[in-house]
Amino acid sequence: MTSWFENLKSIVNRYEPSDDPHALPRAAAALLLEMSVTDEGGEQVEMAIVHEAIGKAFGISPEEREDLLHEAHDARRQAVSTYDLTKDLRAGLDADQRAELVEWLWEVAFADARLDMHEEHLVRRVADLLHVPHSEFIRRKLLVKERVEQRRSG
């Protein structure tokens, strides 16, 4: 599920100034963080998934990860709309990579084993802004939901 993050690393310098190699990963992290604060309860579980995603995807050390997530928190707070967080990602990712990001958003949404209507709305809005087809939006939701149910029963 992290292949799109690998591609992010290879295209960062094409879309962002060379002095900011974490611009696209920060935007992706800001979206994941936005999802983690969308509902009440479960923040620790959701944040653990955000940390795991950023660490695995970029091979970022815990110290660097904290810095990146701090910057992503700031970016999330400063963004006027979700569009601000998605515009560079839409330009910098191909269709499969954008769908992978939607899948990560579902992972965070389902982290607390329940789906809040605000979480689903946010994933839908981000998927629309990233031009992820509705069929792929639903397919990724069902994949994550099945994984969550398997973890809970197993």
**What does the mean pLDDT of the chain come to?**
84
Q: Which domains does the chain have, with CATH numbers?
A: 3-153 (1.10.3680.10)
The pLDDT confidence band at residue 125, using thresholds 50, 70 and 90, is very high
Cβ(21)–Cβ(68) under 8 Å? no
Task: Tell me the pLDDT band of 1, cut-offs 50, 70 and 90.
Answer: low
Q: What pLDDT score was predicted for residue 14?
A: 46
Average pLDDT in the 51-59 region? Answer: 75
**Residue ranges in 16-133 assigned as alpha helix (H):** 23-36, 43-58, 62-78, 82-92, 95-109, 117-129
